[in-house]
Amino acid sequence: MQVVVASKNPVKINATQEGFRQIFPKGELSVTGLSVPSGVSDQPMTDEETLQGAANRARNARHEQPDADYWVGIEGGLDETPQGLIAFAWVVILSQNQMGQSRTSTFHLPPKVTELIHQGIELGHANDQVFGEKNSKQKGGAVGSLTGGVLGRTEYYVQAVMLALVPFKNPEIYPIH
C-alpha cells in the first residue's frame, strides 16, 4: 500500500503511518511526504478554510504522484468561537474512487497565543514565542506545549487519520465518491 502525505512535516507523516497501521494492520505500507500547496492561507482561520486546505493538499498530492494508492491532506486551522480561539485540524484521505475525512478534537488557545495570532503570526510561530520553543509545529505543537507533552501533535492527528479511513475500511457501506 503506497500512501503519499501532502506534506514533508514529520508529524503529519508519522501520524499518517500510525493511523494506517492501526486500521490496516496487515500488509506492507510505504508512506512518503510530498510538499504541495494548500491553496489557502498559511494560517487558516475558519473551519471551512481548514477543510478546504486539507482537501486541496490531498488532491494536489494525487495530481503530483498519481501512482499511489492513497493521498492524505492534513491541515491545521483555527476558528473564533464565543469562548475564544480554538485550534484543530482536518484530515482528508483520497483513493482513486473514494474520499474520507475527519476533524481532530479542538482545544482553546491561551490569550497570549491568541493575541499574537490576531497580529498575523501563524500558530506555530506564536506558540514558539510564548513557550520559548523552536519549530514546535514539527514536534509536539501547541497541543504538546499546552499539555506538558502528555499529548503531542502526532498522537493528536492519529485518531483523525483513523476516522478518515472509515470509508476505506468499510467500502460496502460507504458510497463511492
CB 55 within 8 A of CB 16: no
Per DSSP, helices labelled H in the chain are: 10-23, 47-64, 111-118, 123-131, 141-146, 153-164, 166-169
Query: 149 exposed, middle or buried (CB, 10 Å; 0-12, 13-18, 19+)?
Result: exposed
Buried b (16+ CB within 10 A) or exposed e, 129-145: ebbebeebbebbbbbbb
Task: For residue 67, say whether it is annotated as part of any ligand binding site.
Answer: yes
Task: For residue 142, say whether it is annotated as part of any ligand binding site.
Answer: no
Per DSSP, helices labelled H in 4-122 are: 10-23, 47-64, 111-118
- Residues forming beta bridges with residue 3, ordered by sequence position: 31, 70
Length of the chain: 177
Read off the DSSP letter of residue 109.
Answer: P
Torsion of CA 118, 155, 10, 5, to 10 degrees: -90
Known binding-site residues equal 67-68
Known binding-site residues for Mg(2+) equal 67
Known binding-site residues for substrate equal 67-68
